[in-house]
């Protein structure tokens, strides 16, 4: 075919450029997107990085905050403080020990609600430890035998005596070797006038 008969080439702007290289394709797409965004802004929101005017920074663009990851329902409504609070309220012995500043006796904690007999001989309870146990005895109706001998209860025996004015389940109580003293002895003696269930009381 003669050169005069050849069809004219289309304008460069209307030609479709095919690029086989994927990286080059992506780069070209990014460049086109950046150019479109610049046209849409019309030059607004640009500030020179330095006096040369060579580099520009879009000061109006703000990064959107990342969305928080979804939480499972049990995590959303889990409140550790509430759980501990409910546990304390449900266990009067733990509550009493916390108020008095003493360490709870694990054996008494585990058995007080269901056991009919508890032996705490030589556990080093002291006056405040006995006071915490007395707090529980006021509302306990399952325990029938309690051994608190050799615990240096001393004045704490007075609280035991007062609690037994209310308790009507305990049948046997051993308070031997506790240096109870006058105050504790007085409260225990007065308790006998109110408590008709206690059958055995060791104060030796």
pLDDT tens per residue, range 44-63: 444 444 444 444 445 555 55
DSSP string across 72-98: -HHHHT--HHHHHHHHHHH-HHHHHHH
pLDDT tier at 163 (50, 70, 90 boundaries)? very high
Does 62 or 124 have the greater pLDDT score? Answer: 124
Q: Kindly give, in sequence order, each residue whose CB lies less than 8 Å from that of residue 119, ignoring residues fewer than 6 positions away.
A: 147
The pLDDT-based confidence of 64 (bands split at 50, 70, 90) is low
The CB density around residue 129, as the number of other CB atoms within 10 Å, is 25
Q: Provide the pLDDT for residue 113.
A: 83
Residue 167 has pLDDT above 90, yes or no: yes
pLDDT score, position 166: 92
Cα–Cα distances in angstroms (integers) from residue 93 to residues 2, 62, 149, 192, in the given order: 111, 57, 19, 24
Is beta strand 172-174 parallel, antiparallel or unpaired with respect to 200-202? parallel
**121: which residues sit within 8 A by CB, 6+ positions away?**
147, 148, 149, 150, 151, 174
* Selection from 11, 61, 9 nearest residue 38 by Cα: 61
- Asked whether the beta carbons of 142 and 117 are under 8 A apart, the reply is no
- Other beta carbons within 10 angstroms of residue 96's beta carbon come to 19
Q: What is the pLDDT of residue 42?
A: 46
CA 87 to chain centre: 12
Q: Is pLDDT at 70 greater than 80 in this prediction?
A: no
Distance between CA atoms of 167 and 173, rounded to whole angstroms?
A: 12
Q: What pLDDT score does 34 carry?
A: 52
Q: Kindly report, residue by residue over 139-162, the tens digit of the pLDDT.
A: 899 999 999 999 999 999 999 999
Asked if 166 and 135 touch (Cβ cutoff 8 Å), the reply is no
């Amino acid at each position: 075919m003669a050169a005069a008969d050849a069809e004219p080439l289309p304008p460069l702007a209307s030609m479709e450029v095919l690029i086989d290289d994927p990286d080059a394709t992506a780069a070209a797409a990014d460049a086109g997107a950046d150019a479109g965004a610049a046209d849409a802004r019309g030059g607004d929101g640009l500030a020179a990085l330095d006096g040369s005017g060579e580099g520009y920074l879009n000061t109006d663009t703000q990064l959107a905050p990342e969305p928080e990851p979804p939480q499972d329902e049990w995590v959303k409504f889990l409140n550790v403080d509430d759980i501990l609070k409910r546990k304390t309220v449900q266990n009067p012995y733990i509550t009493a020990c916390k108020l008095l500043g003493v360490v709870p006796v694990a054996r008494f904690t585990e058995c007080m609600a269901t056991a009919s007999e508890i032996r705490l001989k030589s556990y080093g309870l002291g006056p405040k430890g006995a006071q915490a146990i007395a707090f529980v005895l006021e509302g306990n109706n399952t325990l029938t035998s309690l051994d608190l001998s050799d615990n240096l209860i001393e004045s704490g025996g007075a609280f035991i005596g007062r609690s037994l004015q209310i308790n009507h389940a305990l049948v046997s109580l051993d308070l031997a070797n506790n240096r109870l003293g006058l105050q504790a002895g007085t409260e225990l003696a007065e308790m006998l006038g109110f408590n008709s269930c206690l059958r055995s009381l060791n104060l030796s």
